[in-house]
């Protein structure tokens, strides 16, 4: 791989959102957390491939809803590659 990648994202649900959901009888977590790891290959100057794996805790604000997501990012650049 040309590079390895990693990232963390934390989304906090605001108090008004949590109160509205609880008022509707929906249990909601205070935050959602995601961890992503991947690698990047560039088989051609205009093409990059990046397989990735994500783990999400409290997905969508649902307490205890944890999900694993696998994906592939494809980046294709048009025009002359930069030096």
Q: What is the pTM of this model?
A: 0.77
CA atoms within 13 A on the CB side of 42: 8
Helix (H, G, I), strand (E, B) or coil at 60: helix
Distance of alpha carbon 12 from alpha carbon 71, whole angstroms? 24
The confidence band for 83, taking pLDDT boundaries of 50, 70 and 90, is low
Question: d(Cα 25, Cα 3) in Å, to the nearest integer?
Answer: 45
Beta bridge partners of 19: none
pLDDT in tens, 8-62: 999 999 999 999 999 999 999 999 999 999 999 999 989 999 999 999 999 999 9
- Which 3 state secondary structure label does DSSP give 30? coil
Q: Give the whole-angstrom CA distance, residue 21 versus residue 77.
A: 43
């Amino acid at each position: 791989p040309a590079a390895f990648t990693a990232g963390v994202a934390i989304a906090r649900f605001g108090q008004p959102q949590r109160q509205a959901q609880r008022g509707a009888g929906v249990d909601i977590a205070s935050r959602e957390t995601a961890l992503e790891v991947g690698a990047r290959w560039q088989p051609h100057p205009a093409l990059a491939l990046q397989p990735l794996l994500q783990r999400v805790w409290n997905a969508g604000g649902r307490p205890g809803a944890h999900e694993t997501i696998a994906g592939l990012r494809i980046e294709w650049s048009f025009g002359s590659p930069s030096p």
